[in-house]
Amino acid sequence: MERAFLSAGQALIELRDRRLYRSTHRTFEEYCRDRFNYSRDAAYLKISATVVYENLQKFLPTIGRQIPMPTNERQLRFLAKAELEPTVQADVWQQAVEQAGNKIPSGRIVKDVVDRIREKTKVPNPYHIGEICILLPKDDPDLRGKAGYWGVVSHVGEYSCTVQTWDGDYTVKIEHLKLRSSEFSPSECWRRRVNSFESIEELCAHCF
C-alpha cells in the first residue's frame, strides 16, 4: 500500500482532465464528494501531492546517489500548498531528507524547510481586490484550457489570488496572473465584467 496516494492522485487527475465524471455528475467536485466522500480541498490536495511527487521524480539530482522518495500524502502536504516552482520543490525535499538524517522526512520537517525557503524568497503580492487579470496557465494543471481567461480579483493572499471568471472562481499563484486593469478605464472594466456573464439571471445570482 506504500505510495497508494500516488495512484489515487493519478486517477483523480485522469478523471478531471478527461472529464470522465460527466456521465453521472455536473462537476468534478460533486463527483469526488459523492463517489469518494472527498471534499473539494481533499481532492485537489491529493492531485497537488501527486504533481509534487512527479516533479520530485523529474528534478531531484539522483545521479550517483539515492534520495528517498515520499511514501504518503502527509509528507507532501505543506510542499503541495506552498506554491513553489518544481525545481524549488525538489530542493525543499532534498534539504528535508538531509535534515532527517537521509531518511524519509516527516511532514513537520518538510514544513520547516518550506517556511525557511519561503521567508528567504518572499515577494509581496502586487495585486489588489477589484483589479482585472488574465489567467496564465503555465504549468498549473488546474488552469489547463483556460489560457486567456480574464476575471476580477476577489481575494488577495500572501502568495496567491482568487479570481472570479465567467465559469467560476480560481485561486492561483501570482505568477499565473497578468494585470489588465491598466488597459481599461473603470467603466470599461465594469462593462467587461458584466459581459462575462451569459445571462442577466447569472449576473444577478453572482452579485446578490
Cα separation of 104 and 144, whole Å?
A: 32
pLDDT of the residue at 186: 46
Q: Judge whether residue 39 has pLDDT over 50.
A: yes
> What count of residues does the chain have?
208
Position 207 confidence tier, pLDDT thresholds 50, 70, 90? very low
- Written as nine digits, the cell of 159 is 502568495
**What strands lie across the sheet with 150-156, from one edge to the other?**
168-173, 160-165, 150-156, 132-135, 177-179
Strand partners, 150: 134
Give me the mean pLDDT over the 71-77 stretch.
90
Q: In the predicted model, is pLDDT for residue 168 greater than 60?
A: yes
Task: Confirm whether pTM is higher than 0.75.
Answer: no
**CATH T-level assignment (fold) for domain 132-207:** SH3 type barrels. (2.30.30)
Mean pLDDT for 10-30 is 91
Q: From CA 170, how far away is CA 160, in angstroms rounded? A: 10
Domains of the chain: which residue ranges? Answer: 4-120, 132-207
178 phi and psi, to 5 degrees? -135, 125
Phi/psi at 151 (5° precision): -165, 180
